[in-house]
Amino acid sequence: MATSFFRKLAKATPIAFNNAFGGQPKSSFSKFRLPLGAIAAASGGISYYYYFSSPNLVHLDQINDVTGPKIALNPDKWIEFELQDTARVSHNSRLFRFSFDPSAKLGLDVASCILTRAPVGQDAEGKTKYVIRPYTPISDPDSRGYFDLLIKVYPEGKMSQHFASLKPGDVVEVKGPIEKLRYSPNMKKHIGMHKKCKAISSPETSIVLTHASHARHQVL
């Protein structure tokens, strides 16, 4: 077994292995000095051998899957999220809280959004037609088990009217995240924004913000 092991070790770390053992003449034990590179090669080779040979161990990416935070969203698949509760914020705006696995994070980055869809009948071929709208949750991205949407309900809004009709226990199909801008804190000195709602905070970035609304009291 030892011979087989060192053969695999030599294949796994050939340069360091050969430098340490292959190019040196035999000498007495008292004069033998093992270079640090050889030690690293040997320890790495041992890890390599047991890592790939033992049936009781799993690969690193499998370990991360187990120990890392779960992500509720999937950018390639529509996932149903259950409505937990609603609250009226203004005469035409409502807060919707959707729940999911409490051990998971939503998986939404700053400056990203999600897509929502709802059925709106069938087409000429009998297939389900959907209305699709993007929204940005206002809850903390690190919140586990839920996310919040603040939605203004318009009389002719197909999706907002659908949201308004939902009751706790109903579900909405969601896909994402949809990345609009990969933003990191203080990556810009000045930012201009045009928005309707949601607070903005940055310690070292100057932000100019304009609101657009029918009336001052509708600015949320």
Q: 119-162, pLDDT tens digit by residue?
A: 999 999 999 999 999 999 999 988 999 999 999 999 999 999 99
| Total domains, the chain | 3
- The answer to whether residues 78 and 150 belong to one domain is yes
Share of the chain above pLDDT 90, in %: 45
Q: What is the pTM of this model?
A: 0.61
- The answer to whether residues 16 and 104 belong to one domain is no
DSSP 63-102: HHHHHSPEE---TTS-EEEEEEEEEEEETTEEEEEEE--T
Maximum C-alpha span of the chain: 92
- The answer to whether residues 78 and 171 belong to one domain is yes
Which has more confidence, 46 or 74?
Answer: 74
Share of the chain above pLDDT 70, in %: 56
**43 band by pLDDT with thresholds 50, 70 and 90:** very low
**pLDDT tens per residue, range 152-193:** 999 999 999 999 999 999 999 999 999 877 777 788 787 776
- The answer to whether residues 167 and 194 belong to one domain is no
Q: Is the pLDDT of residue 15 over 50?
A: no
The CATH number assigned to the domain holding 136 equals 2.40.30.10
- The answer to whether residues 144 and 93 belong to one domain is yes
- The answer to whether residues 100 and 190 belong to one domain is no
